Chain A
Amino acid sequence: MEETKNYKVNFFKPINGQTKANMKMVSIMIIIWVLAVFGFQVLLILLGEPTAEKAYSSYEKVWAKLSSGQEISVEEKQDLTRALLSVIGKNIIINKDYKKPDGSKENHKKILSETFTWSVFNLLPNDQKDNFMQKLDVIATNLSKKDELQKKLDADTTSTTKISEKDKAELTKSIKDLEDSIKKGDTELTPMCISVIGLQNKGFDKLMSEFIPFSLVSIDGPKLSDTNKEAIPRIMKLYLFHNQSALTDTTFLGFPFHYWYTAQFLLILFILLCFVYAIITDRIDKKYNVPEN
């Protein structure tokens, strides 16, 4: 019995000098490791403040007025439209289905596009409004026609019902024609939008105008739907607020500091920890004559 006791291995109850030295080193390293990795993230959580992008404040002012039924000026309408466009410009992340607080799903791109089109419509002079709506309807009809034809063409490769080569060529041609007319419609509408929003042909403005043809959709009428009215404040808040703090706003080697720390420094630290461990263990092994094999 006595003998067994002496042999017991327990990380926290070292039995001799070598295991004691090892325990000390390993404990220190794990503490450094935990603090460096997770401690920093906790710091980021604690310090992070939701900070709004510039576009948010201009949107918020106009939206508040709008919802309380006040009259808004042309400039304010322009500000709102720009703010919507700058969120649409985050194109990769907005194009997926999101869960609403009540559990149902909504597509943010669709809501933003409808609101944007409505907002542009409001900016247009009265004599252009009908023309604008008609063109949008034409584009929408062409788009749905095109999708239908495309589906037919795609069905050829996936299902057993084969289409003849001649029909295929015809389908491809009609799709091409529809695409051309959609493009034509877009090129007519885009300059109209650019001029009423007041976008300039340089800087971020030019970049924003690139998104216009992708954001115009056909809308039901001059009023914004209730679903969109309810959704927009939520959506704008979601995309225009970011967790920022001194750690994220300081730059280091060109990086936002926190990004550098996590993406680069932690990896350097891991290598250093391993390096130091290997050296110290070599020494411990030598000191206590631990056999090499």
Chain B
Amino acid sequence: MSKFYKILLISLFLLLTTSAVFAGEVKATQLEGEFKVGPSIILITILLIFVLVGFLNRARDTSTYWAAARKISPIGAGAAIASNWMSAASFLGMAAIMYASGYHGLSYVVGWTGGYVLLLILMAGQIRRYGKFTASDFIGDRFYSKGLRGLGAVLTMLISFGYCVGQFAGIGLMFKWVLGIDYMYSVFIGAAVVLLYTLISGMLGATKNMQIQYVIILISYVVPLFIILYKFGYFFVIPEIGYGSVVSDIVSGIDISKGLTSMGNEFAILPSPEYAMPWDPSTGMSPFQWIAICFSLMLGTAGLPHVIQRFYVVPRIKDARWSVVWGLFFICLIYWSAPVYSALGKVLSASPNVGELAKDAIVVYTAQLGDVIEFITGLLAAGAISAAFSTVSGLLVAGASAFSHDLYYKVINPKATESKQLLMGRVGVILMSAIVAIIALLNLALIAQLVAIVFSLAASTIFPLFLLGIWWSSSNKKGAWAGTIVGMTISLVALVYFIVGKYGGALPAQDFITYYLNAWYFGWLGAPLAILTNIVVSKLSKDKTPHEIIKFLAEKVHGGN
């Protein structure tokens, strides 16, 4: 533990010295379109710190790695869960969606935290006891099917892939802000940097700097809030409570009598109840959509391969449970803070002089419009990038290993040598990031919505397999196939309608499908239907789950004697 604090102190010291380097030239009034020296330095410093920490902390070989992992406390493991989870969608996307559509956006906050309850009480301990290494390993083993294992690997790849698209969009936006260049170029530069980072940290085995990553993400996210709330006379000691009055003030309006200004604009807004009132007509969002999004995100959380996989490596079952409790707490620290950005951003951008802002960058714009010194704004942008980086490198590795291990080695070419597998893994990472970058350029939707798509996909396909696989031993191979096919069909229909609609086309019942099976919440129907199909087909088919699996489930997984 003391080593951890030492490294943390060194990192913070490094950050502070970089701030001193350009403390002279504070204040950049331009929102974007120029190269920002300070933020660039901070960004490079932070990325270097991550690599350096990984290097100093690296495990010499696998056995020392495991020995070190066993010593990790549930709190440390919780911070790692949080850092793994926190992505551009949490850091930038949630505030953006609340900024754009008020109360509707809270469905994302609730959905992405409430899912952890399901994950813990239904799965975490049992998954740990089952003791496989990847999600598709579990699926293939539990449903005694090579084909399902391959399908699980493909789904894992698709999910990692889709998740990355939203992250790349966030990385592109932030690089655009820091470097002052076109979105197109910044996506490619960002992709190149993240690829380099993944390959370097992959070689160093730098998975243990996650706690430090979490601390930096948290600090960079919360510090601007203290400053802005203090500046405008709100209760700033706990920003997550202090912004309550900002929300109420937005509803009743803030007139200029307070005389507070920021960058030449008054801190004022005309009465805007649409910001806080539930499913306001003007946002165009209905209560059904709120509930559907929330539900899909919750089930999706409990079905995401890269989240589930974390429980396989926890040494003790008891620790697996407690690390979720701590992980959720650390996640909530950020999720309590995200709405503060949207509320402050709403007021600060209310003046017609500010003009239209890119919603997904509202977190950074809020700090800028609030006239927070450039060092801290730069730190914020760097925090956003590192949140996206840590997630992307994990996803790229997960996607590539699903490709090289689960699909290539186990299904396609069982005779492949280790070096061949490794090569396939690397090729997978590079190919994947290139395609993801191109899709990120299409600007299909807001970051949070892009990420929500894969949550619905996970909810409709992987979640039912885990839920029934663990809790109902009569669920068999045929049932699993049928359920997964139903889930995939629903996903496919939703995505096809989404893409056709996006490019102005219309298929039969376009409006109906777009509303009820929207790309960011089709999981509300996909998951229950997949579960139902799985149950019905399992009951009807003559296929039986092998006795040893049933016995294993009862004795080992559920611990019954």
Interchain CB contact under 8 A, A260 and B244: yes
Considering only residues 260-289 of chain A, those with a C-beta below 8 Å from chain B are: 260, 262-264, 266-268, 270-271, 273-275, 277-278, 281-282, 285, 288-289
Is A185 engaged at the interface, CB distance under 8 Å to the other chain? no
Interchain CB contact under 8 A, B471 and A15: no
Is B408 engaged at the interface, CB distance under 8 Å to the other chain? no
Is A166 engaged at the interface, CB distance under 8 Å to the other chain? no
With A9-B554, A248-B278, A255-B244 as contacts: A275 and B559 at CB distance below 8 Å: no
Contacts of A3 in B (CB 8 A): 547
Contacts of B245 in A (CB 8 A): 254-255
Interchain CB contact under 8 A, A277 and B321: yes
The CA-CA distance from A237 to B472 in the complex, in Å, is: 52
Is B422 engaged at the interface, CB distance under 8 Å to the other chain? no
With A203-B256, A267-B332, A278-B321 as contacts: A248 and B117 at CB distance below 8 Å: no
User: Chain A at the B interface: mostly helix, strand, loop or mixed?
Assistant: helix
The one of B113, B255, B295 that contacts A270, using a Cβ cutoff of 8 Å = B113
Listed residue (A10, A33, A92, A202) with the most chain B CB atoms within 10 angstroms of its CB: A92
Contacts of B114 in A (CB 8 A): 33, 37, 266, 270
Interchain CB contact under 8 A, A207 and B553: no
Give min CB distance, B483 to chain A, whole Å. Answer: 17
Is A172 engaged at the interface, CB distance under 8 Å to the other chain? no
Give min CB distance, B126 to chain A, whole Å. Answer: 10
The CA-CA distance from A188 to B241 in the complex, in Å, is: 45
Interchain CB contact under 8 A, A41 and B558: no
Interchain CB contact under 8 A, A266 and B110: yes
Interchain CB contact under 8 A, A11 and B472: yes
Is A30 engaged at the interface, CB distance under 8 Å to the other chain? yes
The one of A7, A26, A90, A244 that contacts B277, using a Cβ cutoff of 8 Å = A244
Give min CB distance, A276 to chain B, whole Å. Answer: 10
Give the nearest-CB partner of A47 in chain B.
B278
Interchain CB contact under 8 A, B558 and A19: yes
Contacts of B276 in A (CB 8 A): 248, 256, 259
Give the nearest-CB partner of A15 in chain B.
B560
**Please, what's the 1-or-0 string for B527-561, where 1 marks a CB less than 8 Å from any CB in chain A?**
00000000000000000000100110111011111
Is A16 engaged at the interface, CB distance under 8 Å to the other chain? yes
The CA-CA distance from A6 to B473 in the complex, in Å, is: 12
Is B41 engaged at the interface, CB distance under 8 Å to the other chain? no
Interchain CB contact under 8 A, B110 and A243: no
Considering only residues 285-314 of chain B, those with a C-beta below 8 Å from chain A are: 287, 290-291, 294-295
Q: A15-B554, A207-B256 are in contact. List 14 more A-B contacts (CB 8 A).
A: A9-B472, A10-B474, A11-B471, A38-B291, A44-B278, A243-B279, A252-B244, A255-B244, A256-B276, A256-B277, A262-B106, A271-B329, A277-B120, A278-B324
Interface pairs (10), CB distance under 8 Å: A7-B473, A25-B121, A45-B279, A92-B346, A253-B244, A256-B276, A267-B335, A282-B318, A289-B561, A293-B316
User: Which residues of A line the B interface, CB within 8 A?
Assistant: 3-4, 6-11, 15-16, 18-19, 22, 25-26, 29-30, 33, 37-38, 41, 44-45, 48, 50, 53-54, 86, 89-93, 95, 98, 202-204, 206-208, 210-211, 213-214, 237-239, 241-244, 248, 251-256, 258-260, 262-264, 266-268, 270-271, 273-275, 277-278, 281-282, 285, 288-293
Closest 3 CB pairs between A and B? A254-B244, A255-B244, A254-B245
